[in-house]
Structure 1
Amino acid sequence: MLLQKLEQLRTLLAEMERALIAYSGGIDSTLVAKVAYDVLGDRALAVTAESPSLMPEDLEDARIQAAEIGIAHEVVNTHEMDNPNYASNPVNRCYFCKSELHDTLKPLALERGYPYVVDGVNADDLQDYRPGIQAAKERGARSPLAEVGISKLEVRELAKSLGLPWWNKPAQPCLSSRFPYGEEITVAKLQRVGRAERYLRDLGLQNLRVRSEGDTARIELPPEQIKEFVSANDLSTLVTAFQSYGFLYVTLDLEGFRSGKLNQVLQLASSN
């Protein structure tokens, strides 16, 4: 069944003849880039958007991965932070982010002779609250993984079978996702969160988030890692580091890491 989906994905991309991939460096868009390159060769182009909400090391990862795949790769700048509809951080913030992205990519694709812009949206994403998907569709973007019904788990299985060493890479949504809806996002706040997460990554942690609310940093780790984290690290040193980045308070979420946790406020609101 999975091999059948892979063949469907290859066929779909081959029929496009030329495609520009909205390539974040995450495993979803990396799989699309890999398969697109396999079937289209130099008729596929991966483009990564650079902005304050992308950590520099994630951009570097995207470059390294694209080079190993062999696909042509370019970086463009996007300016979603200039849009108050984005910076004010409404519940549909991602709509304005993807609008800026695809308003940048679509003219580039047309200028270069690519009839299609494709992204890494998978079938599971369609079941979550993702206003950015609407913005992409409005601008004619295609989602090959979703179109052939490939789930997030299947993305990783296919990436592993194709020999991609990043098949189990943790998801890294943009840094703006670390803020509760309604709290204004600024470049300084994004940099503060980025530095805090980099500090934790340097401790050897991978699957993590630093949620930012006002002057408080809330660290989320997988529940099974919390006890070891507390015992193995000098917490006073960590707090001092976070405070040097601009936070006043540092907390640890005892529930642990859960992707999309900030969306639970939307679920509570809809149930009331």
Structure 2
Amino acid sequence: MYPKYLSLLESLSKMNRVVVAFSGGIDSTLLLYAAIESLGPSHVTAATLSSSIVPTIAAENCKHVFNRHFASKISLQKVEIDPFRWEKFTDNSVKRCYFCKKNMYLCLLETFCTSKKGTRLLDGTNSDDLKADRPGYKALLELGVATPLVQAGLEKQEIRTLASNFGLVNSDKPSNSCLATRIPTGTKLDREILHSVDLAEKFLFDLGVDGCRVRPSGTLTILEIREQDFEKLSDKSLRNIITSKFDSLGLKIPALSFKERKE
């Protein structure tokens, strides 16, 4: 057994009851898998946040992954939130993620932990996440949210390897993030533009372009795609179809700008 995974199981075993913030991404999936293995299903709750900033693709994937691996053991608790009620979020400053994460996890804490003594809220942040600027991580620390993958020293590739060994269906899926990350910092967020971005990314996903990012930036829309999709989108007729669809969504662009998307 992988030593870091054993360390993860050991740290989880010291907790009485846990609530895993589950997004359907590979990190929270492995964390939920480990929590159930360590504590047993009766001591584990899976909670997912539903809102207009969650991409449709991510929401569908969350449901699929949960039903595939966990539905026979526990139920998925859905919590509805509306980030557009938070002015410090819609201002879209460099601290947007901090304000958003803090409000989201306060909601989870109040819903599942405040009245249940000894219940810990867990987040799937991994060790690699700490190598970049993560304002949201500061919020987790302030709220006392546990990050067992960090504690075990698990990095992204190690998590993918473990997930593959355990047969988890999303072991090789590209990561995702909230729709607000598509908008340049300082540009005020509104529902309409995020909805258009969501529809555009779902359109591309249905064309077989997985893991893309649609980033409106002034008069240009930057489309970030994985290297494996560059050849597909080199077809001029397909690009014209995409441009036409984007135009219908209000993403007014003279042309598409392609940029390789990194993990």
Identify whether the pair has TM-score above 0.5, normalized to the shorter chain. Answer: yes
Report sequence identity in percent.
30
2:93 aligned residue: 90
Q: How far has the Cα of 1:233 moved from its partner?
A: 4.4
Contact 2:56 2:202 in 1 (8 A): no
For this pair of structures, how many residues does the alignment match? 258
CA distance, structure 2, for counterparts of residue 31 and residue 118 of structure 1: 12
Please provide the CA RMSD for this pair: 1.7
Contact 2:233 2:239 in 1 (8 A): no
The 1:68–1:223 alpha-carbon spacing in structure 2 relative to 1, beyond 3 Å, is closer
Whether 1:212 and 2:216 are equivalent positions in the alignment is: yes
What pairs with 1:46-125 in structure 2 (closer than 5 Å)? 46-70=46-70, 71-108=74-111, 109-113=113-117, 115-125=119-129
* Structure 1 segments of 4+ aligned residues over 6 angstroms from their partners: none
Whether 1:130 and 2:134 are equivalent positions in the alignment is: yes
The 1:67–1:224 alpha-carbon spacing in structure 2 relative to 1, beyond 3 Å, is closer
Q: Runs of 5+ in structure 2 lacking a partner?
A: none
Whether 1:186 and 2:190 are equivalent positions in the alignment is: yes
Q: How far has the Cα of 1:223 moved from its partner?
A: 3.7
- TM-score (structure 2 length as normaliser): 0.92
CA distance, structure 2, for counterparts of residue 32 and residue 132 of structure 1: 18
The 1:49–1:88 alpha-carbon spacing in structure 2 relative to 1, beyond 3 Å, is same
Q: Runs of 5+ in structure 1 lacking a partner?
A: 260-272
Deviations 1:65-111 (A, max 9, x none): 22322233111012222111111111111001101111101112223
Contact 2:57 2:202 in 1 (8 A): no
The 1:69–1:255 alpha-carbon spacing in structure 2 relative to 1, beyond 3 Å, is closer
SS in 1 for 2:24: coil
Contact 2:35 2:44 in 1 (8 A): yes
SS in 1 for 2:66: helix
What pairs with 1:14-25 in structure 2 (closer than 5 Å)? 14-25=13-24
Contact 1:122 1:150 in 2 (8 A): yes
CA distance, structure 1, for counterparts of residue 94 and residue 141 of structure 2: 19
CA distance, structure 1, for counterparts of residue 255 and residue 132 of structure 2: 28
1:270 aligned residue: none
Which protein is richer in helix relative to its size? 1
